[in-house]
Amino acid sequence: MTYPKPLLLLFGSLALFVATLPVSAQDDSVEPTRKGIELAKQKKYDQAAEEFSQAIKADPQDTKHYLNRGKALKAAGKLTEAEKDFTKVVELQPERAEGFSERGKLKVAQKNFEGAIEDLDEAISNDEDDIDSYRFRAFAHISKNDFEKAIEDYSKVLDEKVDDVQALERRGFAYRSLKQYDKAIEDFSKLVKATPKDAEAYRRRGYAYSQSGDNEKALADYRKVVELKPGDADAESRIKAVEARKPAAGGASPAAVPSGASAPSPR
């Protein structure tokens, strides 16, 4: 089973960096923080981390500097160093969500899913509205095949944003893994509506239809995949396999997975 690269999840937004406001002309942390954020926008993460280090020297009790440096180091792929900064945030402000949340996300990238869940539990305990922590905890749960807990967390994300395509596709995968095909199809149908040009959305729904025994709808979705991605070998193989089946008695028997075809990933 293939999962998305966690680092792509973690570094998608420059808004991750915490801005600072000048407190006084003597605040020596202001200028390096500004420089660091600007360098981060340019994806010069190592240089940004150096500037955030200067901010830390100027004001070692301000957790935003450790958060900024940790995020820059994480974006640079220096996960062990980044973890130290997030741990420092936890030590300085254990009552706040940010340190636990960032450290938990980092542990997802390290595939330390147990540790990630532990930190993200703490983050959510400190801030139950921290939707990003639910998203990453859901990913950790799904990575451990704990589909029911993943569904709970993705549902929380979808309560906040009903058309969140990432949450829809992964919750649909979790439902499908639990053989709750109707719910999986419902999520994948919303995904198709939100991303009508995405062949993978049709592939996922087609597979769920196939598993539920609805061969006609499965064929329609697999054919749509080929329309969007001409020559797609996986979809063509599935079309042949479904066409070769005899209709299930009463249309109720789940169809078999085409030989040699792997189930779609939760991406």
Question: For residues 27 and 58, is the Cβ–Cβ distance under 8 A?
Answer: yes
For 37-64, how does the pLDDT look when each residue is reduced to its tens digit (9 = 90+)? 999 999 999 999 999 999 999 999 999 9
For 240-264, how does the pLDDT look when each residue is reduced to its tens digit (9 = 90+)? 999 998 555 444 444 444 433 334 3
Domains of the chain, each with CATH number or no CATH: 163-267 (1.25.40.10)
pLDDT (0 to 100) of residue 245: 83
pLDDT (0 to 100) of residue 247: 59
**pTM assigned to the model:** 0.82
The token pair at 193 is 């509506």
Tally of residues, the chain: 267
Question: For residues 175 and 191, is the Cβ–Cβ distance under 8 A?
Answer: no
pLDDT (0 to 100) of residue 246: 57
Whole-angstrom Cα distance, residue 234 to residue 200? 11
**List of the chain residues with pLDDT < 50:** 1-15, 20-26, 249-267
Which residues 6+ apart lie within 8 Å of 94 measured at CB? none
